[in-house]
Structure 1
Amino acid sequence: MSGFYFSQDKIDEVREAADIVEVIGSYITIKKTGKNYTALCPFHSEKKPSFVISPEKQIYHCFGCGASGNVFTFVMNYESVNFAEAVEILAKRYGIKVKVSSGTDDKIKKSLLKVNNFAFDFFKKHLNNTSGKKALDYVKKRKINRETVELFGIGYAPSGWSNLLNAARKEGISEKLLVQSGLIVKADSGKLYDTFRNRLIFTFYNTRGEKVAFAGRALGDDEPKYLNISETPLFKKRFTLYGLYQGKDAIRKEDRCLVVEGYMDLLALFQAGFKNVVAVSGTSLTDGQAQLLRKYTRNVYISFDADNPGKKAALKGISIFINNGLTPYVITLKGGKDPDEIIKKEGSEPFQKMIKHAEHFVDFKLRYLLSRYDAENPVDRTEIVKEMARTISYIKDMTERQMWVSSVARKLSIDETVLSGYRITAKQKSQFLPSILSSDELVHNLVALISLNPARYNEVYELLEETELLDDVAEKVLLYIKTRFDRASEVDVADVINMYENNSERERITAMIFSLKKENLPKMLTQYINKVKTISLKKRWENLKKEIKKNENDNNIVLPLLKEQQKIASILKKLGGNIDPEERV
């Protein structure tokens, strides 16, 4: 629904109705702490609350992972929806009627969903008629029951180059849409043909249950064995997990998710009662997939094949999961087996035991390194220590991190300080330190502060224009503030924060505003304004210095320049931005 839009008045109406404390409190447990509310952050794993909600400013900020925004951005991130959908969710909650208009992109998506629904019915029909006998036999051989076939939308694409194409043409579906859907391929010659031929079909659903894509497993000798459609406006592989739609409720309920490699692994586990499972389905795990899972749980149990590629995939998955705020555990599969084979031959009980004895990612990493390196060799030992120290550093909770430092140090027979010495330095809390900011950062902080005191808009705008420090970002923010101020509308500081596209900049500015006491705002604004003036004056000083050097033999030119330098030095002294002795002429 990304092309849908609302009038600003309607967005304002929803924002005014949707109290951020009430909305966030309906999703997670929050606690009043002074004038703010705190909670365990829903966007990264932590044991001590660093997520703060400000009812006064109607914004939230996590001092652990930097997540920040207003009521809309919270719903967007928690529900994995876009802005328009977040507005609709909140409008419905507060009984506000909103009218939406769709753009071209969303009309295309709607049309593609209709194409996919048609293809879904086509594949389902062919699985159940005589042409699908081979596919049904394969399904039965893999012990996939009828209920699972229905639930996961398994179908069959018959042999032949144009079965789906001809069926779609009869229904009046345009060739352009068929190609856009990825279900039909257009050759360089212009000829059209079916993407899937003689393949068992797997359906991809989004979290709302819409059919967004398909994949096919060859039932003959065709290569590749597994084939995904190309990316489309509906389907981005890096943001999609097979089985998440069917398993999301169980994942939330059990607060953990089993992550497997293939479709058959997932189907076998799901049938055996492990409903909290997703599959990366033949591709490397991505940040987008990890972020998607994080909406449902922070605990992931990786169950990849026991061969070397499987171990490497597990290691890569560990890095991606911990970088995105999840805690990975590794289920060790022995004897080169995969989950599907274990379930089929041994049943669910052995696999349940494997889950119970899954290794924390630190233990798994250490065991893997010890299997590859010689711990008695000083060079190898150093590599093991460095890699383990780096791995442990990703654990944000200090108590838990220290526990693992002690555990690994004991196993490697080394002093704990050796591991701690390699630890990544923790991020310092952002604070008001204008003296160490770049000129762009300084200006962006300043215009964000103006959202809290729009009456000083003209002063700041004129200063930035005069000093030539007004970039596109600052101008956009100031224009928004002026528009709201001129309309006598409240300036929403969260809207201002969201106008900064750079994540680290948003985090810095949110942290600054959170830590700002109302009574300190005038002083802080003055300090920032003085710092901007200082930058401009120092720039002029440097230009004068060059002019003086260039005309050092002409007193008539040099003397006025020196006087101007003296004047600048006097002003800078008052502003607290003295020229360093080595910078003087």
Structure 2
Amino acid sequence: MISEDVIQKVKELNNIVDVVSETVRLKRAGRYYTGLCPFHHEKTPSFTVTPDKQIYKCFGCGEAGNVISFVMKTKNVSFGDAVQILADRVNIDIKYKDKSGFGTNPNEKLYKINVEAARYFFSNLRKDRKSRSYLLARGIAEKTINNFGLGYALDSWDGLLRFLKGKGYSELDMLEAGLIIKSKKGSFYDRFRNRIIFPVFDYRGRVIGFGGRVLDDSKPKYLNSPETNIFKKGTNLYGLNFAIKNNTDRMFIIVEGYMDCISLHQNGINSAVASLGTALTSSQAKLLKRYADKVIISYDADLAGEKATLRGLHILKEEGFDVRVLTIPDGKDPDEYIRGHGKEAFISLVKSSTQLIDYRIEKAAEGIDLNNPQNIVKYAEAAVDIIKELTPVEKDIYIRKLSEKTGIKDQALYDLMNNNLQKHDKNYENMNSDEVFGNKLYVEPIYVKAERELLKLIINKKEIQDYALQFLNEETFISQKSKDIFELVLENLEASEDEIGKLIEVNFKDADIIKEWINIVEIKLISENCDYKILVDDYIKEIKKYKLEETKRKIMNEIKNYESEGKINESLKLAQELINIQKELGGM
């Protein structure tokens, strides 16, 4: 657990303007700084940083927080990791403390047991001729074996278990690290047996898990460590710790397998990372965004690989990358191709990689006979559905390309695209909504403001606490964030706003609750001459009204469903409830 004093020291020594400037280009505007929001796409700045308060807020999407929550959200890390990153930035040595007061890292034992397991596997490989021959036959050099810490799990039920017991670890420790399995009979055995072992490192180079590959054609071909406190497949990438070294061109090549990644590195393609056998996630994309602006994705050419590519492309594009697709000839994977053709041939493929939009349009044409007029229309509809997402200049270029390919006139394709936009655009009904700074204004339900105002009042106006708490309890609030903050306030009624803020960080370590707290802090209460009891009544009424309106909507939908099913009695019962709710709303 990180102490409150350390958290405050980390916040004080990390100027939020400096930290945000590493991600966002900021421009001074009086006492504020403004820039393009990193949490949503916009063309005109609506993101502001207030240095004297050490907070940020976006008026376009509603994001808000402090320097810690900014690091949590932009780097997709936990509260503790964000504090650690900021501490490293200003050279603060964090000492974790347990309840007894002794220094500890809650995951320290997991990291240590994984290192011991990695050493065991590595030692096995040095002694085992069969596994070593397999890697050498695959073209993996001794130096690469050493660099990546490759190892071998013996064809034994408890080789690792006995080794780790000799190092003082218990079965519980090994289970927590995912290194052994407990049978139905209660006995324990090694998870990895008779497999080449690939230690998985996090971006800092710490061993967090393992992957194991069979030496023959038995199934499953690959086996990974289960999810643990430190091994999260969807938030890590194999080889990233190697790829971020000397990554001067800020570019990564994403491949599917361990061997693909290792082969590319061995051949001097040091920007390769692998996605740990899972579909690419937004968490992985956020992690990559720290180190790169361009991503080339090179998955297997089979159907599963193509589907994974399309999913990954969408996620990467959403994160703001320049995205390309590298297609390897003859359906080969990167490992096969670079071993057969060499580094220069692979670099040529990298240079000729396809732009995201071209790849998607090419895929839309697959399996369609363009000699058939009906199929041409079908293809054109699919293509314009992709082109509609582009900028006006890009649309013009790709509409002309599509016209040349299909023989359909430009204007007809534009008409088709505009018809599709009006039919499918989910925001079509809301196109007249207010805008701020040229962007759509983020509008919250009215109860959200009421909940924040109530919390602000009971924290800052101690004189009305007794009055307000006659009517308030946890169930008064709708938002879980408000409920959590209210519960904390109840336990600390004499605490100041600053003290509550510190308690929120220590107790919750949640970026969304920090965001909610910043929104509460930013509220400016009406002048001292105001009757705050009337305000309390009004805010409680707004929350209650919102709940009733939501119940009313739900009942009206249920009545509609019952009537369509011919359930008249059930419908009449609900109709009476609806009348009662309408009366209650009318009396407000």
2: CA distance, partners of 1:521 / 1:223: 73
Match of 1:446 in 2: 453
Q: Partner of 2:110: helix, strand, or coil?
A: helix
Q: CA deviation at 1:325?
A: 4.2
Deviates more, 1:107-116 or 1:69-78: 107-116
Q: CA deviation at 1:370?
A: 1.0
Q: CA deviation at 1:124?
A: 1.1
Answer yes or no: is 1:32 the counterpart of 2:28. yes
Q: Partner of 1:297: helix, strand, or coil?
A: coil
2: CA distance, partners of 1:44 / 1:113: 35
Answer yes or no: is 1:338 the counterpart of 2:333. yes
Q: CA deviation at 1:249?
A: 3.3
Match of 1:311 in 2: 306
Q: CA deviation at 1:364?
A: 0.7
Q: CA deviation at 1:212?
A: 1.1
Deviates more, 1:306-315 or 1:211-220: 306-315
Q: CA deviation at 1:54?
A: 1.9
Q: Partner of 2:3: helix, strand, or coil?
A: coil
Match of 2:216 in 1: 220
Equivalent position amino acid for 1:87 in 2: V
2: CA distance, partners of 1:219 / 1:351: 27
Answer yes or no: is 1:402 the counterpart of 2:415. no
1: CA distance, partners of 2:547 / 2:150: 68
Equivalent position amino acid for 2:159 in 1: N
Match for 2:238 among 235, 242, 253?
242
2: CA distance, partners of 1:183 / 1:365: 41
Equivalent position amino acid for 1:232 in 2: T
Equivalent position amino acid for 2:125 in 1: L
1: CA distance, partners of 2:33 / 2:292: 22
Match of 2:578 in 1: none
Q: Contact 2:69 / 2:514 at 8 angstroms: preserved in 1?
A: no
Match of 2:2 in 1: 5
Match of 2:266 in 1: 271
- CA, structure 1 residues 500+164, in 2 after alignment: closer, same or farther (shift >3 Å)? closer
Q: RMSD over aligned Cα, in angstroms?
A: 4.5
Q: Partner of 1:215: helix, strand, or coil?
A: strand
Q: Contact 2:458 / 2:465 at 8 angstroms: preserved in 1?
A: no
Q: Partner of 1:61: helix, strand, or coil?
A: strand
List aligned pairs for 1:147-158, cutoff 5 A: 147-158=143-154
2: CA distance, partners of 1:404 / 1:520: 53
Match of 1:198 in 2: 194
Q: Contact 1:44 / 1:325 at 8 angstroms: preserved in 2?
A: no
- CA, structure 1 residues 119+340, in 2 after alignment: closer, same or farther (shift >3 Å)? same
Provide the TM-score with structure 2 as the length reference: 0.75
Answer yes or no: is 1:231 the counterpart of 2:239. no
Answer yes or no: is 1:291 the counterpart of 2:286. yes
Q: CA deviation at 1:367?
A: 0.6
2: CA distance, partners of 1:511 / 1:430: 19
Q: Contact 1:430 / 1:512 at 8 angstroms: preserved in 2?
A: no
Q: Partner of 1:328: helix, strand, or coil?
A: strand
Q: Contact 2:454 / 2:536 at 8 angstroms: preserved in 1?
A: no
Task: Report how many residues are paired.
Answer: 529
Q: Contact 2:387 / 2:398 at 8 angstroms: preserved in 1?
A: no
1: CA distance, partners of 2:298 / 2:548: 63
Match of 2:485 in 1: 477
Identity %: 30
Q: CA deviation at 1:305?
A: 1.8
Q: Partner of 1:258: helix, strand, or coil?
A: strand
2: CA distance, partners of 1:99 / 1:241: 28
CA deviations on 1:524-563 (whole Å, 9 max, x unpaired) are: x99997465466589999xxxxxxxxxxxxxxxxxxxxxx
Answer yes or no: is 1:371 the counterpart of 2:374. no
Match for 1:169 among 157, 165, 172?
165
1: CA distance, partners of 2:457 / 2:113: 50
Q: Contact 2:459 / 2:489 at 8 angstroms: preserved in 1?
A: no
Q: Contact 2:107 / 2:230 at 8 angstroms: preserved in 1?
A: yes
Equivalent position amino acid for 1:365 in 2: R
- CA, structure 1 residues 444+362, in 2 after alignment: closer, same or farther (shift >3 Å)? farther
Match of 1:142 in 2: 138
Equivalent position amino acid for 2:476 in 1: L
CA deviations on 1:250-292 (whole Å, 9 max, x unpaired) are: 44x3222111011111112112222111112333223332232
Equivalent position amino acid for 2:3 in 1: F
2: CA distance, partners of 1:172 / 1:447: 54
Q: Contact 1:69 / 1:494 at 8 angstroms: preserved in 2?
A: no
Answer yes or no: is 1:187 the counterpart of 2:183. yes
Match of 2:204 in 1: 208
Q: CA deviation at 1:353?
A: 2.1
Q: CA deviation at 1:36?
A: 1.7
List aligned pairs for 1:543-558, cutoff 5 A: none
- CA, structure 1 residues 224+492, in 2 after alignment: closer, same or farther (shift >3 Å)? same
- CA, structure 1 residues 125+10, in 2 after alignment: closer, same or farther (shift >3 Å)? closer
Q: CA deviation at 1:192?
A: 2.7
- CA, structure 1 residues 112+267, in 2 after alignment: closer, same or farther (shift >3 Å)? same
CA deviations on 1:205-230 (whole Å, 9 max, x unpaired) are: 11221111111111134321211122
Q: Give the gaps of 5 or more residues in structure 1.
A: 542-578
1: CA distance, partners of 2:306 / 2:529: 57
- CA, structure 1 residues 305+103, in 2 after alignment: closer, same or farther (shift >3 Å)? farther
Q: CA deviation at 1:194?
A: 2.3
Equivalent position amino acid for 2:485 in 1: V
List aligned pairs for 1:521-560, cutoff 5 A: 530=538, 532-533=540-541
2: CA distance, partners of 1:466 / 1:484: 15
2: CA distance, partners of 1:308 / 1:495: 51
Match of 1:126 in 2: 124
Match for 2:108 among 107, 110, 130?
110
Answer yes or no: is 1:15 the counterpart of 2:11. yes
Equivalent position amino acid for 1:446 in 2: E
Q: Contact 2:481 / 2:513 at 8 angstroms: preserved in 1?
A: no
Q: Partner of 1:415: helix, strand, or coil?
A: helix
- CA, structure 1 residues 460+319, in 2 after alignment: closer, same or farther (shift >3 Å)? farther
List aligned pairs for 1:502-581, cutoff 5 A: 530=538, 532-533=540-541
- CA, structure 1 residues 488+213, in 2 after alignment: closer, same or farther (shift >3 Å)? closer
Deviates more, 1:173-182 or 1:412-421: 412-421
Match of 1:358 in 2: 353
Q: CA deviation at 1:330?
A: 0.9
Match of 2:494 in 1: 486
- CA, structure 1 residues 291+388, in 2 after alignment: closer, same or farther (shift >3 Å)? farther
Q: Contact 1:447 / 1:474 at 8 angstroms: preserved in 2?
A: no
CA deviations on 1:312-357 (whole Å, 9 max, x unpaired) are: 2211222332344444311122211221222112222222222222
2: CA distance, partners of 1:521 / 1:335: 77
Equivalent position amino acid for 1:443 in 2: A
CA deviations on 1:134-175 (whole Å, 9 max, x unpaired) are: 222222222222222222111112223332223223333222
Match of 2:561 in 1: none
Deviates more, 1:419-428 or 1:407-416: 419-428
1: CA distance, partners of 2:442 / 2:509: 21
Deviates more, 1:358-367 or 1:302-311: 302-311
